[in-house]
Chains A and B, each alone.
Chain A
Amino acid sequence: MTEAKAAADRLVKAKRLNALLTPVKELRKSLTEQALAARPTGVLYGMPVAVKDNICTLEFTTTCGSKILEGYRSPYEATAVAKLKAAGALIAGKTNCDEFAMGSSTEHSAYGRSIHPLDKARVPGGSSGGSAALVAAGAVPAALGSETGGSVRQPASFCGVVGIKPTYGRVSRYGLVAFGSSLDQIGAFGRSVHDAARVLSVISGRDPKDATCEDRDPLRLPTVPESLQGFVIGLPREYFPPDLDPAVRRACDRAVRLMKEQGAAVREVSLPHTQYAVPTYYVIAPAEASSNLARFDGVRFGPRADGATDLRTLYRRTRGEGFGPEVRRRILVGTYVLSAGYYDAYYRRAQQMRALIAQDFRNAFDRGVDLLFTPTTPTPAFKAGEKLADPVAMYLSDIFTVTANLAGLPAISLPVGRVKGLPVGGQFIGQAFLEDEMLEAAYALERAVPATEEA
């Protein structure tokens, strides 16, 4: 009971971040009810976990940061949420995000932007900015986010927390409102690798409700390794371009040195198709999104536009009014690249390029590399408004993260330093379904790296 009150109080204190979409009164009431019902034998018993608002919960509304789902209460909950509850966790409200997870700053939410915990002029990243900000501010020990192109790792990097994206198929997508179906995964935020990993472990595992979820047991957490002896870490040269922000480079170099000191072997590798990753992503994700978002039509659920006396007007007005500009752009781009005459040049070509990108990773791993290490983002958190003028400018901030989504590989971002007080993240990209090796390396780096020190 007191835990529930304390959890609510901590979230209320972080109100200024505009990261939580759930009204305080409803949050308090629900936390109290949930605390009474929670399973005391669960491994996450009593742990408040905030959930990104594109994940369906029975508690609270699910708006995906959009007006088209304003006030929508889902009549079912996501498998990941059910698993959290079965483990005794408390669902500590829904967090703000870019509308339908489309964005890299949480500025594209219909409910206002979220604010970086350390600098109110800056963005916390996106699309899972609300979840990252709350964890970074200490308002909640862990949170769920989702990734399509880096939307957990990038805000984790910006906010100075740990963010994990599992292998595609590790965590059920049932109840995650689909954006890019072949890219989407639910991920976890925590203040430490251990917290994030614990949550990920609970939500992972087979689910007959998701045909793309692999028939595997939940993730088993490794123990913290004594050293990194035997680990071969690859540094892909395409992620350390000559024009990389020097402070980010310094922080990553320091991290690499600390890994070597723990016994890791480090090698340069090449992922030659990296330059095509962002355009490939921005063909595939919008294409799938344009189809996934067709169900938002005002017919069966959600608000409906007023005054439409014929069906087509109902559709166009509901969707035109309900979707924000970034979502509309992506739906249009996606529709275009799938349309007759353009499918081969865009969508089919992008899927083929995706095969090459995945092949790059396989080649690196086949040559004896266990894990890759790279900066998570090219820069620390940017200022609000800085990247809104040109949509492509925003897309380019995904440059180091989209590849793991395209290849379906697990990845983790953890803070490796500060640049003028702003957090910088470094990421490991692991082999498919070998999250345990990736987590071992992350544990080892975490204990050594001075995450809050200037690089």
Chain B
Amino acid sequence: MSVTRDDVLRIAQLAELEVEEDGLPALVDQMSRILDYIAQLSPATGSNGLRPFVPGPDAIRFQPDEVKPWPLAFGPEKFAPAFKDGFFVVPKLDQFE
């Protein structure tokens, strides 16, 4: 179940990760090795239809509906890479309507 170069590029797009052209062959190889390794789960018997296990509480415990935000020691003007007039600023999406 190896991955191809095109697979890796498609996944990288979904994950918004830039992949260097010269690093691509090694990445494809490593990804293939990892995916081949974890593919041994697929034919493992006895696991079909079993309910997944997730640790933690059995049910959500709800919080009351009150305006009491968890503390922020300082605001985005201090930690945002670009902040103007109270807004976060990002370059425009290329294909914006």
Contacts and interface: CB of A to CB of B under 8 A. Distances in A.
B44 A303 contact: no
A72 B74 CA distance: 13
Interface in B21-47: 27, 30-31, 33-35, 37-42, 44, 46-47
Contact of A215 (B61, B74, B93): B61
Nearest to A307: B91
Contact of A312 (B7, B16, B38): B16
Contacts of B80: 300-301
A303 to B, nearest CB: 7
B63 to A, nearest CB: 6
A194 interface: no
Contacts of A348: 52
Contacts of B56: 168-169, 182, 212, 214, 408
A276 B18 contact: no
A311 B79 contact: no
B67 interface: no
Interface residues of B, number: 58
Interface in B47-74: 47-57, 60-61, 63, 70-74
B17 A323 contact: yes
A58 B57 contact: no
Contacts of B38: 279, 282-283, 333, 337, 346, 350
Contacts of B78: 73, 75
A163 interface: no
Interface string A278-305: 0110110000001000100111111110
B74 A75 contact: yes
B21 to A, nearest CB: 12
| Chain A at the B interface: SS class | helix
Interface stretch (A21-29, A89-97, A352-360, A421-429): A352-360
Contact of A309 (B19, B52, B91): B91
A448 interface: no
Task: Report which residue of B27, B30, B42, B48 has the largest number of chain A beta carbons within 10 angstroms of its beta carbon.
Answer: B30
B57 A355 contact: no
Contacts of B30: 329, 390-391
A186 B57 CA distance: 17
B27 A319 contact: no
A329 B17 contact: no
Nearest to A214: B57
A276 B90 CA distance: 44
Given A311-B90, A329-B31, A329-B34, A276 B40 contact: yes
Contact of B54 (A182, A301, A346): A182
Contacts of A290: 15
Interface in A172-189: 182
Nearest to B60: A211
Interface in A327-377: 328-329, 331-333, 335-337, 339, 345-346, 348-359
A311 B91 contact: yes
A310 interface: yes
A320 interface: yes
B53 A316 contact: no
Contact of B27 (A73, A276, A329, A345): A329
Contact of B47 (A335, A336, A356): A356
B55 A168 contact: yes
A316 B18 contact: yes
Contact of A303 (B11, B27, B81): B81
Contacts of B41: 276, 279-280, 283, 346, 349-350, 353
A280 B51 CA distance: 15
B70 A76 contact: yes
Contacts of A328: 17, 19, 27
24 contacts: A75-B75, A169-B56, A215-B61, A276-B40, A279-B41, A280-B41, A297-B16, A298-B81, A303-B81, A304-B82, A312-B94, A319-B15, A320-B17, A329-B30, A331-B17, A339-B11, A349-B47, A350-B38, A352-B50, A355-B50, A358-B55, A391-B34, A392-B33, A432-B55
6 nearest interchain CB pairs? Answer: A408-B55, A320-B18, A351-B52, A355-B53, A168-B55, A304-B81
Interface of A: 58, 72-73, 75-76, 167-169, 182, 208-209, 211-212, 214-215, 276, 279-280, 282-283, 290, 294, 297-304, 308-317, 319-321, 323, 328-329, 331-333, 335-337, 339, 345-346, 348-359, 390-392, 395, 407-408, 432
Given A302-B81, A319-B15, 12 more contacts: A211-B60, A279-B38, A290-B15, A301-B81, A311-B92, A311-B94, A320-B17, A320-B19, A339-B14, A350-B38, A353-B47, A391-B33
Interface of B: 3, 7-8, 11-12, 14-20, 27, 30-31, 33-35, 37-42, 44, 46-57, 60-61, 63, 70-76, 78-82, 88, 90-94
